[in-house]
Amino acid sequence: MVILNNIFLWTAIILCIAAVYKNYLQTHSGNLDIKQISFSNTLYNIILAVTVIAALFIRIYKFGAVPGGFNQDGAMAAVDAKALADYGTDRYGMWHPVHLTAWGYGQMSALLSYLMAPFIKIGGLNSVTARLPQLLTSLAALICLYLFIRDVFGKTTALIVSLFAAINPWHILQSRWALDCNLYPQFFIMGLYFLNKGLIKRLYLIISMIMFGLCMYCYGISIYTMPVFLLAACIYLLITKQLSIKDAVIALIVYLVIAWPFITTMAINFLKLDTIKTPFFTIPFFPDSVRSNDILFFSDNIGSQLISNFKSLMNVTLLQKKDLPWNDIENFGTMYLFSMPFVIAGIVSLIKDYRKSGGAVLALIFLLTGLWCGLTTNGVNINRINIIYFPIIIMAGIGIAYTIKWLPLSKWGISAAYLTAFIIFTSTYFTSYADSMEMYFFKDFGNAVSSLKAVNSDKIYITADSQYQGASHVSEILTLFYHEIDAEYYQGKSDLNSIPFRNKYVFRSIKDIDIIPSENASYVITSDDKKYFNENIYDFKQFGNYYSVTHKN
């Protein structure tokens, strides 16, 4: 794939330069009789149907099983979702929290858990029900993306953008596992679609503000990115008289009606005020929070941090350097490594050909908001800057359409390059990448824990050495997930077989535990811990690098 990437990249660079140059020559020669890209209705519908099938297949095939295991943050959202479904609280007993306590020192956005709750209530706590909200919102976002591009740039460009989005590595990966922040770009693009529609029919403007308000509950960085986008969009739309002051005020009111509890949460944590409890929800104060350290404005040296942030921004966008294992796949990046020339061509085309279009300018403001996010968030990775990827997808699609418009024969080479990359990506995702992700998503650990779910033991000792040595909090949250632990039992409000949760479940490194053969206990251990057990007394069931240990019958 490395050789192919280099070939495709240099070909893309040459094609984009040639397209821009030909555009320049045609413009200055006065000959603008360029044949536009067009499809018959039948061919258009066939390609659109293939796009939909490809998008569904790559996101639904082996859904719940790939990636194997479960990420600890997703498990935490799911455990809180079960508590919400059962009792209307998080796992700690907080009534309808606006923001989740999560690890304590670092919180978690709540919307994903609230979306999970009905699925878990119906289908139980498992990898499918916990991941369904992310899948469904991702698919809804693709629909809104297509409709937005169709309204602003036309049917043909919409088809090209949708094709690119359907096979896009970033969008595929984030749609198949549960992480709270990955809802943010999905609700953002839905809000953008309705905002553009709202310039014609004001009812859609209200819907857009609801979507943008919900964005605040998707990811904490929305507190300093969403208002920036809305303010910039509002100023532009007011100046160009596409929005009246009355409509802007109504939009602001609707947005604040949805967003004010989250905004208040951020305010009381910044000011260190007390938790606010209402009959409907709780606005919590987190005394141990360290999240403000992630923001540029709270850095000790803003200048040097800004330079560092810029480098991180370039690494995860333009250069597409390898990120965390679960965020991208080696040699494919977020957009396929050879796509960035088309992104630049797309920006050129948007500014040159669509700058008078309100929707196009909104898309550009969306991109600039993503850049703002990268510059103001310390050490961004793919998750932290995820709102920038829909604008990049849009610009890439526009750039591909622009290149094909000026170099019609290039459509065959571009199509072949992306088809080849997608086939190799798909093969990699469901084979070698799927195998590697099982370790990062603790599949073997989860299987070992699951094997003890029905075991009748007074105590279950579970190794704290899951994510790293002494990671008892990770072992605990994954156990809560796999054993579907009741929230009130976890809180100590109810006992299971008269054994409180804290007495039954012990999360500690096995080397620090006294193994007492007479104790009615079971264990989840690492392979290194097996030496502490007498094989004449205990049965061992292996799950990769982990064992479940029970007394012999």
List, for residues 161-218, the tens digit of each pLDDT value: 999 999 999 999 999 999 999 999 999 999 999 999 999 998 999 999 999 999 999 9
pLDDT of 30 reads 63
Q: What is the DSSP letter of 546?
A: E
Helix locations, 216-329, DSSP H: 226-239, 245-271, 302-316
Question: Lowest-confidence range among 21-35, 327-341, 356-370?
Answer: 21-35
Where does the pLDDT of residue 244 fall: very low under 50, low under 70, confident under 90, or very high at 90 and above?
very high
Where does the pLDDT of residue 496 fall: very low under 50, low under 70, confident under 90, or very high at 90 and above?
low
Is the confidence at residue 130, as pLDDT, over 90? yes
**Residue 107 vs residue 231, higher pLDDT:** 231
Question: Lowest-confidence range among 74-78, 103-107, 351-355?
Answer: 103-107
Contacts of residue 371, Cβ cutoff 8 Å, sequence gap at least 6 = 313, 388
pLDDT of 552 reads 85
Residue 198 C-alpha from the chain's centroid:
26
| Residue the block writes with tokens 């033991």 | 457
Q: What is the mean pLDDT of residues 247-260?
A: 97
- DSSP per-residue codes, 128-146: HHHHHHHHHHHHHHHHHHH
CA gap 416, 462 in Å, rounded: 51
CA gap 185, 390 in Å, rounded: 7
Is the confidence at residue 143, as pLDDT, over 90? yes
Is the confidence at residue 288, as pLDDT, over 90? no
**Residue 102 vs residue 343, higher pLDDT:** 343
For the purposes of burial, counting CB atoms within 10 Å of the CB of 338, is it exposed (0-12), middle (13-18) or buried (19 or more)? Answer: buried
And the tokens for 261? 């509890």
Q: Longest C-alpha distance within the chain, in Å?
A: 93
CA gap 71, 65 in Å, rounded: 13
Helix (H, G, I), strand (E, B) or coil at 62: coil
pLDDT of 293 reads 66
Q: What is the mean pLDDT of residues 8-34?
A: 82
CA gap 380, 327 in Å, rounded: 12
In 3-state terms the chain splits into helix, strand, coil percentages (rounded to 5) of: 60, 10, 30
pLDDT of 485 reads 94
Q: What is the mean pLDDT of residues 231-256?
A: 96
Is the confidence at residue 291, as pLDDT, over 80? no
| Residue the block writes with tokens 């905004």 | 263
Where does the pLDDT of residue 483 fall: very low under 50, low under 70, confident under 90, or very high at 90 and above?
very high
CA gap 423, 342 in Å, rounded: 20
Q: Are 290 and 104 in contact (CB under 8 A)?
A: no
Where does the pLDDT of residue 31 fall: very low under 50, low under 70, confident under 90, or very high at 90 and above?
low
Q: Are 84 and 96 in contact (CB under 8 A)?
A: yes
Residue 125 C-alpha from the chain's centroid:
20
φ and ψ at residue 526, rounded to 5 degrees: -90, 165
**Residue 500: is the preceding peptide bond cis (ω within 30°)?**
no
CA gap 282, 379 in Å, rounded: 31
List, for residues 299-321, the tens digit of each pLDDT value: 778 888 899 999 999 999 999 99
Picking from 477, 440, 443, 463, the residue whose alpha carbon sits closest to that of residue 522 is: 463
pLDDT of 436 reads 94
CA gap 511, 463 in Å, rounded: 9
User: Percentage of the chain with pLDDT > 90?
Assistant: 82
For the purposes of burial, counting CB atoms within 10 Å of the CB of 299, is it exposed (0-12), middle (13-18) or buried (19 or more)? Answer: middle
pLDDT of 17 reads 93
pTM: 0.94
Helix locations, 124-219, DSSP H: 127-153, 155-166, 169-175, 183-198, 202-215
Q: Are 171 and 163 in contact (CB under 8 A)?
A: no
φ and ψ at residue 200, rounded to 5 degrees: -105, -45
Is the confidence at residue 103, as pLDDT, over 70? yes
Question: Lowest-confidence range among 178-182, 345-349, 515-519?
Answer: 515-519
**Residue 33 vs residue 461, higher pLDDT:** 461
Where does the pLDDT of residue 27 fall: very low under 50, low under 70, confident under 90, or very high at 90 and above?
confident
CA distances, 86 to each of 80, 81, 91, 128 (Å): 10, 9, 10, 18
pLDDT of 300 reads 75
Is the confidence at residue 32, as pLDDT, over 60? no
The H or E element containing residue 525 is: strand 521-526
Is the confidence at residue 26, as pLDDT, over 90? no
For the purposes of burial, counting CB atoms within 10 Å of the CB of 317, is it exposed (0-12), middle (13-18) or buried (19 or more)? Answer: buried
Termini Cα distance of the chain: 53
Q: Are 147 and 157 in contact (CB under 8 A)?
A: no
List, for residues 54-66, the tens digit of each pLDDT value: 999 999 999 999 9
Q: What is the mean pLDDT of residues 420-429?
A: 96
φ and ψ at residue 287, rounded to 5 degrees: -65, -25
In terms of DSSP bridges, do strands 282-283 and 276-277 run parallel, antiparallel, or are they unpaired? antiparallel
Contacts of residue 427, Cβ cutoff 8 Å, sequence gap at least 6 = none
pLDDT of 350 reads 94
List, for residues 425-469, the tens digit of each pLDDT value: 999 999 999 999 999 999 999 999 999 998 989 999 999 999 888
Where does the pLDDT of residue 159 fall: very low under 50, low under 70, confident under 90, or very high at 90 and above?
very high
Q: What is the DSSP letter of 386?
A: G
In terms of DSSP bridges, do strands 108-109 and 99-100 run parallel, antiparallel, or are they unpaired? antiparallel
Mean pLDDT, the chain, integer: 93
